[in-house]
Amino acid sequence: MAQTATPRKRKRVVKTPEARRADILRASREVFGTEGFADATIADIATAAGMGKGSFYMYFETKDHVLAALWEQYVNAFYDTTQEILGKGQAWWPTMDELLCRLLEHAIDNAELHRLVYGSANAKALEMCKESNARVVDSICDFVRRGAVAGAFRSANPEWAFRMVYHAADGLLDDLIADGTPIDAEAVRRSVLEMAHRTLGDPDLTPAGR
């Protein structure tokens, strides 16, 4: 009589802390998107991530911190892109134009995260997201200060001018994303670049505009 083979035990997969944290971020984005930030619970997130609530608290204190981490992940991706563009050594205005175009593209590609953060998050989460944004803004402001010294940006206060352009573009995108209708990316791009050239003081800007 043939012996019945003993079932082999499945090898337990042990994930790294980085992988577990990534699971939480992925699950949170899904849960926030379906349940809404206000109604989502830690238990919902932990279940979607395939872990217990206790494991969740090993990586994040609250769901506010999770949302801030999602936004930081988003901002970090653009920060890396910013450094790549600045490292090309292009002329001042082509660099500025590319930075703004890529910023708009990145925001539109992540419209759902924008809607989630600015439409559902509370003040605590928004403050943490604002801190992440500062890295990108400060990096480009340093570029603008150097460009002003070189005569490329001629507004009375180029750094303030760029901050106004950045926040105006960001606010416009938030309004368009919240509206939920398809975004005309090319029209947005033209409007933001025109505003940037006028506000920052492009010395080559003709009276008729660009």
Alpha helices in the chain (DSSP H): 17-35, 42-48, 53-56, 63-86, 92-109, 111-120, 123-149, 158-179, 185-200
Domains and their CATH numbers in the chain? 15-60 (1.10.10.60), 63-200 (1.10.357.10)
Neighbouring C-alpha atoms within 13 Å toward the C-beta of 205: 19
**Sequential pLDDT tens for the chain (210 residues):** 555 556 665 555 567 989 999 999 999 999 998 888 889 999 999 999 999 999 999 999 999 889 889 988 888 899 999 999 999 999 999 999 999 999 999 989 988 888 887 777 676 777 777 787 888 999 999 999 999 999 999 999 999 999 999 999 988 988 898 888 889 999 999 999 999 999 999 998 844 334
